[in-house]
Amino acid sequence: MTQESINKEIIIEGVDTRELYGAQDVYLEQMRALSPTVKIVARGSSLKVLGAKREVMAFERKMNSLVEYYVKYGHISKEVVSQAFSTGLSDAAEPVAERDTIVYGNNGNIIRARTVNQRRLVELYEHNDLLFAVGPAGSGKTYTAIALAVKALKEREVRRVILTRPAVEAGEKLGFLPGDMKEKLDPYLQPLYDALNDMIPAAKLQKYLEDGTVQIAPLAYMRGRTLDNAFVILDEAQNTTRSQIKMFLTRMGRNAKFIVTGDVTQIDLPRKSDSGLMGAMATLRDIEGIGMVEFDKRDIVRHHLVKYIVEAFDKAAEQAMPHDAPVVRLRHKRDEGNDE
């Protein structure tokens, strides 16, 4: 017996369909792929669905659950759409796929804590206003910190995000580079722009940069400022001197969150002993409200070879070190009940 075909119009109310359908209709196309037995035509807030009555009604139920989810949680992702149109969304909690999620990036990408120490950084953020995150290149410490900053901005916990790095040249002199100060410094700040471009649509990011909601500047520009209602990240902190890192930390104003990231194996200062990062951590370790996370090679999330490259260079450095050279080690203070 042939099933009755119907043409049903579903009106999407109280929701920005641009968010619901995704950039360039990426979520709408996903819905079509997951509902091959019906034809879907979208016109603004109107969805026309053509197909067998049973299939059309099933699509409507799934679509309603997706809209309810968006209203409740304020976001949509590819994982959410997939769950809505397959196993269904639970009313009790967010889908399993959303666990460890920090923020929702562009094109439905989920930015999540992917390693033990990335998750630890997220957990400590909830209970501390100042965090130190140190570890090797590629461990995701800066990327996770920026994701937390974007999350705080989207949820209106802060009014602005400020990203800063010391202007220490990795083997080059800024004075010999063409352009004004911004043009000279932008290449050194590019990793911060790259992370932001993953998490904030290009047009919105440009607006934020123009109106000061997002600021990216060298550390020297922080002097004399009081940073209220701001999420501030100091990247490459191993290249700060003791006086510079003290200057930065004392910029902290009301309702501010600070994260300091660095890698003590990549110090570009003329004398490695001039780095103030390790000394600052040792000095501030036992102060309540300050958290510290030490990333290691297990957290490296770049190409799998990066982990072995880091190990090889660390081993070579140890072999080259004089036997009587002092060894500086971080004393890891574990949280109670956390044995990871």
pLDDT, position 96: 43
Q: What is the pTM of this model?
A: 0.65
172-222 pLDDT, tens digit per residue, is: 455 555 565 566 667 777 888 899 998 988 888 999 999 999 998 888 888
Among 323, 210, 202, 317, residue whose Cα is nearest residue 264 = 317
Residues 163, 235 contacting (CB under 8 angstroms): yes
Domains with residue ranges and CATH for the chain: 5-99 (3.30.1370.10), 114-320 (3.40.50.300)
Q: What φ, ψ does residue 297 adopt, rounded to 5°?
A: -65, -20
Q: Give burial (CB, 10 Å; 0-12/13-18/19+) of 270.
A: exposed
Residues 151, 101 contacting (CB under 8 angstroms): no
Residues 8, 60 contacting (CB under 8 angstroms): yes
Radius of gyration of the chain (CA): 24
96-142 pLDDT, tens digit per residue, is: 445 578 888 887 677 888 888 999 999 999 999 999 999 998 889 99
- Map tokens 């799998």 to a residue: 304
Among 256, 255, 210, residue whose Cα is nearest residue 233 = 256
pLDDT, position 2: 58
